[in-house]
Amino acid sequence: MGRWLSAEQVRAVAAVMRLFVEDDLANGVSPTRGLWCDACERVRPAPGFIRYEQRQVCNACATEYEIQRARGLVRSIKEYLTAIRARRNAERP
């Protein structure tokens, strides 16, 4: 069972994660450069990518992961990736 986060807390996590995008853009990472996201399994814009252990995750997925981690729903990137892949497989016809 997870812990409850207020809307303000969720916004705060998202705001911090956006700083990674802003920092990458300020440091010359091209917004047109794409990288493979191990979470959503798509090529996504490079600014804001986060490396967790041996995985690289786009900013949107990293934000979702950090919110789930703050809620106590996952403890590691491996657990998060396993959960979203299981959910994705369950949604397929």
pTM value? 0.90
Q: What is the pLDDT of residues 33-90, one digit of tens each?
A: 999 999 999 999 999 999 999 999 999 999 999 999 999 999 999 999 999 999 888 8
Question: Tokens for 68?
Answer: 């789930």
Are residues 41 and 89 in contact, defined by beta-carbon separation less than 8 angstroms? no
Say which residues have a Cβ less than 8 Å from residue 60's Cβ, sequence separation at least 6. 40, 44
